[in-house]
A = this chain, B = another copy of it.
């Protein structure tokens, strides 16, 4: 079983658009905040990776939108690592309406591991234990 992490927050007014629901680009920001919270829960924020000179730039992102999120709703972002390769890894993410448990969106981000200058680096060994 992978390590699954959840974090919750309210939908911000600025995240909505003219159609009355949350703008679709916002979910990538929420996925990322889910990953940040995941890393804080592990005891080492992404900033620690940065401090170590390790970056995880996004090389692919995908989102499937199932139902709209609305202003003021409490939502939960659930993230886990689904794959770790030698120089790449994948995070899965789900966005859930906290009260009803309804799945609003799901997707993934694929990352490569680089140093500060953008050169490929091996994913740290410790990441592998997060998957299985």
On A, residues with C-beta under 8 Å from B are: 9-10, 12-14, 16-21, 23-26, 28-29, 32-33, 36-37, 40, 45-47, 55, 57-65, 68, 70-72, 109
B contact residues around A36 at 8 Å (CB)? 10, 12-13, 71-72
Query: Could you tell me the dominant secondary structure of chain A's interface residues?
Result: mixed
15 further A-B contacts with Cβ under 8 Å, apart from A9-B9, A24-B28, A46-B72, are: A10-B40, A12-B29, A12-B33, A13-B18, A13-B33, A14-B23, A14-B29, A14-B32, A17-B17, A18-B18, A18-B21, A24-B109, A25-B32, A46-B71, A47-B72
Inter-subunit contact A46/B13 (CB<8 Å): yes
